[in-house]
Amino acid sequence: MKKKIKVLISACLLGDNVKYSGGNNFTPELVTLLEKYNVDIIKVCPECFGGLPIPRVPSEIRENKVFSKDNRDVTKEFLIGAEKTLKIAKENQIDFAILKERSPSCGSTYIYDGTFSENIITEQGITTKRLTEENIKIFSEENLEEIEKYLVELAKN
């Protein structure tokens, strides 16, 4: 019997109200795609895992540290969240992850530049960097075609 594909996913993308604002980033096309391939979903929110409240002051990465908009250094909470997420990924032997683009935790390709001016730079979030160091494949919710191609490949094996 083939093993079921396991995917680690940012909880906000599945409609959980864990976003800094108290809302979510529900992505129905992503849910439809995951249902099509009948994957096991492992939901995570690194920022919640790190002990940050909902709602919370928005945070951005600046000079390899994470600061909230009110200039509190929340790097420690982000690092704790990244480690907890990695532990869950390993315990569940995930095949890959889908994380929220532009998040200071989960951005896979882009994050905000740390000035709270909505400028976007090419860089990874804290959790994404940590998972990447462990050779975990990461996509964002903005790469549905790539995700589907990867699912097709995994389904063959």
- Of 117, 101, 99, nearest to 42 by C-alpha is 99
State pLDDT tens for residues 40-54.
Answer: 999 999 999 999 999
State pLDDT tens for residues 93-128.
Answer: 999 999 999 999 999 999 999 999 999 999 999 999
Residue 52, both tokens: 């940050």
Question: What pLDDT does residue 3 have?
Answer: 80
State pLDDT tens for residues 54-102.
Answer: 999 999 999 999 999 999 999 999 999 999 999 999 999 999 999 999 9
- Of 133, 101, 43, 114, nearest to 74 by C-alpha is 114
* Residue 24, SS3 per DSSP: coil
Question: What pLDDT does residue 1 have?
Answer: 59
What is the set of domains in the chain, with CATH numbers? Answer: 6-58+75-100+126-156 (3.40.50)
- Distance between CA atoms of residues 75 and 3, nearest Å: 37
